[in-house]
Amino acid sequence: MAVSERTTGTPQPIGFSRSTWGRVALVLRWIALLIAVVLFLIPFYLILRNALATEQDITAPDWTLFPSHLQWSNISELFNDTTVPMARAMYNSAVVAILGTGGQLLLASMAGYGLARIPYRHADKIFYAIVATLMIPGAVTFIPSFIVVSSFGWVSSLRGLIIPTLFSGFAAFLFRQYFLGFPRELEEAARVDGAGYFGVFWRIVVPNSLPFFAALAAITFIGNWNSFLWPLVIGQDSSSWTIQVAMSTFITAQTINIHELFMAVAVSILPLVLIFAFLQRYLIQGVTQSGIKD
């Protein structure tokens, strides 16, 4: 009976059978799945509902499923509100996420390639020194890093937000492992044509590794855009707030309307939803290759 199920070739972790019990189990699984879907989508529904509502809609004693009149003007209200530096915060976040991601990938990929392919007597020691930093729990370093960055005078500056985050030992490690498995034949061919390490890396290795770069870029970009603790530590002046710090400040400050805040949320997740829509393949690759997010 159940053999026909197997012919699809997909593994069945919980096997199917056509018995009554099998059918009940199937229905129960579908119910569980659909309940989970609804629960997971509720917060997104709330973002849309509140972002496009008036304050009266939100605070009404009876729940309105969706505002009767969609307030698209909330967008202009948010960006014209002079008490809330949202446009500036959005700009800061974009700069931090783009430069942070680009810089981190550039530094880590070159370091990873050097460690994987360029012979040097002390390469092993340097590799161990990089791997050793992975032992240190990331979040605990915010006080030590703050001590150094503040003595550079980088508090409340984009430099302070970006530069200390560029040197990811984990990214360098992943790139080294990846480049160790890169087909040598491709590199040798270019070398015969007279290219040096630099030429081989930029003209052969990078263009042939774009999916790997895309996977790490997607994860790093999301991590940078959503990062909170370091921007909170560094952004002590509202001109250097990222979007996360700005939203966090207004959760408690009570100086902003709820619908404005939810519009800020909607705008802030838009870039990431686009990444999810178009780069999900790379994102999932990145997650499974690295097992990291934060």
d(Cα 74, Cα 55) in Å, to the nearest integer?
11
Footprint on residues 115-144 left by other proteins (CB under 8 A): 115, 117-120, 123, 126, 129-130, 133, 135-144
- In the shown chain, the binding pattern of residues 262 to 291 toward other proteins, with x for contact by CB under 8 A and - for none, equals x--x--xx--xx-xx---x--xx--xx--x
Q: Answer whether 78's CB lies under 8 Å from 263's CB.
A: yes
Stretch 44-83: interaction string toward other proteins, x if CB under 8 A? x-xx--x-------xxxx-x--------------------
Q: Which of residues 147-166 bind other proteins (CB under 8 A)?
A: 147-148, 150-151, 163-164, 166
The residue within the footprint of other proteins, chosen from 27, 36, 189, 210 (CB under 8 A), is 36
Q: How far apart are CA 151 and CA 238, in angstroms?
A: 20
Site for other proteins contains 201 (CB under 8 A):
yes
- Per-residue 3-state assignment (H helix, E strand, C coil) for 17-82: CCCHHHHHHHHHHHHHHHHHHHHHHHHHHHHHHHHCCCHHHHHCCCCCCCCCCCCCHHHHHHHHCC
2-21 residues in contact with other proteins (CB under 8 A) are 2-3, 6, 8-17
Residue from 86, 97, 105, 108 binding other proteins (CB under 8 A): 108
Q: Give the residue with the Cβ less far from other proteins, 22 or 102.
A: 22
| Interface with other proteins, residue 105, by CB under 8 A | no
Tokens 């966090």 belong to 248
Binding to other proteins by residue 84, rule CB under 8 A?
no
Q: Are 280 and 215 in contact (CB under 8 A)?
A: no
What six digits make up the tokens of 8?
């699809």
Q: Give the nearest distance from C-beta 80 to other proteins in angstroms.
A: 21
Could you tell me the sign of the dihedral formed by the alpha carbons of 66, 69, 70, 74, in that order? negative
CB 175 within 8 A of CB 111: yes
Closer residue to other proteins, CB minimum distance, 71 or 133? 133
Q: What SS3 class is residue 35?
A: helix
